[in-house]
Chain A
Amino acid sequence: MRKKLIKDTSTKNYYEDRFYVPLESKKIDVNETIFKDDLASLDDMKIIKSYVEYDQMVVFIEKNDNLKALEKLRDYGYEILTEISGVDFIEKKGGIEVFYQLLSIKHKRRARVKCFVKQGEFLQSVTALYKSADWAERELYDMFGVWIEGHSKLKRILMPDDWYGYPLLKSYPLQGDEHAKWYEVDKIFGREYRDEIGEENRDSAKVDSKDTFNFSRLYHEAEYGAKPPKEPYLQEYQEEGGVPLVKKVKRDKFKILKKRR
């Protein structure tokens, strides 16, 4: 547990936390709470760690016990598997922490079962127990690269099938890697058109004063390639004299309605 931050950081040394670090959540022993029976239903299984946090039970189990543990919890009364996802701990522990978020309508409570999958290891599919695991496991594979054993159709779900890399890993750059950068160009036009189309503009504040195409010249608009007019002008809806059979609209002849019609 980190100690609470003192607001005045100017008197502090530079190597201590300069920004607000939230306190760790309170963790209660399971046997003092209503989750006592829920944990007892996992009777003979190896439980690495368990606590109650924000009124939800969290149980850490071995990776290969996930089917057994979920079956026991399902039979106890956790009918719904809300979500499966992961947390990237590759840098710290060399693997991904997969969690199963469970909901019990019968007991009106939620629980989370966690297991640790090392890189290159397989995880057993739980689609036999919960139907919702089908897509959730596909998402886990898509976003974290966790391979699921026994899944009927393991393929990507959010990203295209030929996508390279796993976007929810901490090592994946937000604006994409080299493959993501050229994905649509390679797919539609082919690699040889990369130079022609050019790189993506990732700088949202970029203003190129020499760019006469993408830079809007307010009140001096001209079509691409045409010389911008010297005199400022207001863009009209129609040409001079209007359009046959179409109502004439002029900017200076507007009408303000007294009330909504």
Chain B
Amino acid sequence: MALHKVDYAKENGLPIVLTTVDKLIQWGRSNSLWAVSYGLACCAIEMMATGAGRFDFDRFGTIFRASAKHAEVMIVAGTLTKKHAEFTRRIYDSMPEPKWVISMGSCANTGGMFNTYSTVQGVDRIIPVDIYLPGCAPRPETLQYALMILQKKIRKEIPRRKQKAKRLV
């Protein structure tokens, strides 16, 4: 076969895939999102259920890390009190760039039913949030959906560039 007649773009042709470095990096990043296990209240139970066998975060490449320094996603699951806010920020700061945040459940989004003196009215007062996940408590498939949307968001980003400073609130 003459060389000029080969259609490289055909999938079932030669074992060649054409892509860009950007896309490769995005694909790699989005499919190995390690989450810092950060359960604060009842939502943490749903987060554990999402990590467990039935919903299985592992097939998305999401593994819960006990250390923030190995993780790139922070799933804030539960009520954030003002006493704890300082530590949340510290954990967020110790995560390496690039990093993303999923705020899970009503309490993390807006303070939820705890419209009181001791609860932070939304974690976005402390850390920039990428995805807000409504529900009280959200079911595991909802968290799974949030993760898939986050993956989609990451695939759109340009990895060559430094992450744009995210807006706080």
Q: Give the interface segment out of A25-33, A86-94, A110-118, A232-240.
A: A232-240
Q: In the assembly, what is the distance between CA of A3 and CA of B39, in Å?
A: 51
* A174-B116, A197-B168 known; A188+B86 contact, CB < 8 A: yes
**B86 / chain A contacts, CB cutoff of 8 Å:** 184, 187-188
> In the complex, what residue of chain B is closest to A235 when comparing beta carbons?
B149
Residue contact A175 to B17, C-beta cutoff 8 Å: no
* A interface list, Cβ under 8 A from B: 159-160, 167, 172-177, 180, 183-185, 187-188, 196-198, 200-202, 204, 213, 223-224, 235-239, 243-244, 246, 249
Given contacts A176-B117, A187-B86, A188-B85, contact A197 B27 (CB under 8 A): no
Q: Is B152 close to A, CB under 8 A?
A: yes
Flag if B17 contacts A184 (CB, 8 Å). Answer: no
- Rounded to whole angstroms, the CA-CA distance of A238 and B148 in the bound complex is 8
What are 7 A-B residue pairs whose CB atoms fall within 8 Å in the complex? A174-B116, A175-B116, A176-B118, A197-B168, A200-B121, A244-B17, A244-B27
For A247, the closest partner residue in chain B by CB is: B59
Q: CA of A135 to CA of B89 in the docked complex: distance in angstroms?
A: 28
Q: What 1/0 mask marks residues of chain B from 115 to 132 whose CB sits below 8 Å from any chain A CB? A: 111101110011000000
Contacts of A174 in B (CB 8 A): 115-117
Q: How far, in Å, is A225 (CB) from chain B's closest CB?
A: 9
- Name the one of A160, A175, A223, A235 contacting B117, with C-beta atoms under 8 angstroms: A175
CB <8 Å contact, B115 and A237: no
Taking a contact as CB atoms under 8 Å apart, the answer to whether A188 and B155 are in contact is no
The answer to whether B155 touches A243, judged by C-beta atoms less than 8 angstroms apart, is: yes
**Once the chains bind, are B121 and A180 in contact (CB under 8 Å)?**
no
For B126, give its contact among A167, A180, A184 (CB under 8 Å).
Answer: A184
B169 interface residue (CB < 8 Å to A) = yes
Contact A183 B125 (CB under 8 A): no
Tell me whether A197 and B116 are in contact (CB under 8 A): no
B152/A238 in contact, CB under 8 A: yes
Q: Known: A184-B85, A187-B85, A246-B31. Is A173-B152 also a contact (CB below 8 A)? A: no
